[in-house]
Amino acid sequence: MPNDKNYPTRCDAAGCQELSLALSEFCWDHLPKKSSYAQTVAEAIKNGQDLSGCNLKKAVLAKAVLEKPNFSGANLSQADLSGAQLFDAKLDNSEMLGVNLSDSDLTHCSLKGADLTKANLTGARLWNASLADANLTECDLSGADLWNANLYSVKLWHTLFCGTKSMTMITFSNGTKLLDNPRINEAGALSAEESYRDIKQYFLTNGMYKDVSWASFKEKTMERLVLKKKGDLRYFPSLLMNILCGYGEKTSRIVLAAVLAIFSYALLYFSFNAVEKASDPRYIMKWYDYLYYSTITFTTVGYGDFVPRSYGFFKLLAACEAFSGVFVTGLFVFTLARKYSAR
């Protein structure tokens, strides 16, 4: 009897340890009528048969019209679905190792959690497809069209993006807004760092500099986590650069750091009564005078109308702020140039 259930049984061929295909009692290697198998599957789908959890390993379904099939949890490893029409297919959590989906139509498909390791998706149409949490390790996406596709939290390692279309940082978002924290799977910091570097190179090649900034920041973040895991002391300067300017990608952080520094030093000057008016030492300093002095010291303007009191500590404090100001100002210029100029 043919296997018309979702879950496969052992192949009926003598001595074969493989599982039988859906709608058959044999595995692909022992299937007697391979040429008509694609039509059998297409007819079953057309009649509304649920094929979730089925076995289609190594099956040749090239150019088959398989619209709205339910292949959730199915095994399609090494299957040939090149040129197939899989519009609105459900392939959630399916096993698709080495599957050939080149030039296939996967519009509106759901591939959430699918394992597409070493899959061939060259030239595939993935319009509005969801691949959230999928495994795309060593997958070939060359020439694939990812218009409005969702690759949030996917595993990307040695994935090929040559000629991939419509990929932006929003592709890696959990929604349609950048506030949704676009990212790939970051469970392995080392592989995630390399993956972000590949994504950055894709954006750079296509002149997408805003997206380059996102990928570059994520790459450096993963690099910092790798340094932390190794116990490398370079972790601390990396952390400082992240806090101050987001590795040259977060302009707002450097502005905030400058403002906080100015107010912090002003508070210190106020607490220690560390500043006096140069022309009148008896002048009673106001809070805004300390803030003014901190600002001109931080920016190294130094008008000379206010000076530190004649104690070594106060002079050292002012010198430290001036040095910090030079450093932060230089960092701000670097960040601004990096953020808004072609790389």
Render pLDDT for 279-335 as a digit per residue (tens, 0 to 9): 998 899 999 999 999 999 999 998 889 999 988 999 999 999 999 999 999 999 888
Q: Is the pLDDT of residue 99 over 70?
A: yes
Share of the chain above pLDDT 90, in %: 86
Q: Which domains, ranges and CATH numbers included, belong to the chain?
A: 250-340 (1.10.287.70)
Answer yes or no: are the C-beta atoms of 94 and 72 closer than 8 Å.
Answer: yes
**What is the C-alpha separation between 280 and 330, in angstroms, rounded?**
34
Under DSSP, the state recorded for 131 is: -
Whole-number pLDDT of residue 2: 43
Three-point CA angle 310, 312, 318, nearest 5°: 85
Q: Is the pLDDT of residue 51 over 90?
A: yes
Whole-number pLDDT of residue 4: 46
Tokens of 224: 């910092």
Whole-number pLDDT of residue 292: 96
In this predicted model, which residue has the larger pLDDT, 1 or 224? Answer: 224
Whole-number pLDDT of residue 177: 55
Whole-number pLDDT of residue 302: 85
- Find all residues with CB under 8 Å of 302, minimum gap 6, and list them: 296, 322
Q: How does the average pLDDT of the chain come out, rounded? A: 92
Q: What mean pLDDT is predicted for residues 252-280?
A: 94
Residue 141 — pLDDT band, cuts 50, 70, 90?
A: very high
Three-point CA angle 172, 175, 179, nearest 5°: 85
Whole-number pLDDT of residue 97: 97
Q: What mean pLDDT is predicted for residues 257-276?
A: 95
Q: Which long-range contacts (CB under 8 A, 24 or more apart) does 225-230 make?
A: 225/189, 226/189, 226/190, 226/193, 229/189
Per DSSP, which regions of 288-341 are E strands? 306-308
Whole-number pLDDT of residue 174: 84
Q: Name residue 221's beta-bridge partners.
A: none
Per DSSP, which regions of 252-321 are E strands? 275-277, 306-308
Centre a 10 Å sphere on the Cβ of residue 87 and count the other Cβ atoms it contains.
18
Q: What is the dihedral of CA 44, 50, 53, 55, to 10 degrees?
A: 0
CA-wise closest residue to 89 among 122, 50, 39: 50
CA-wise closest residue to 331 among 216, 269, 249: 249
- pTM for this predicted structure: 0.85
Q: What tens digit of pLDDT does each residue of 1-31 get?
A: 344 445 678 999 999 999 999 999 999 999 9
Residue 338 — pLDDT band, cuts 50, 70, 90?
A: confident
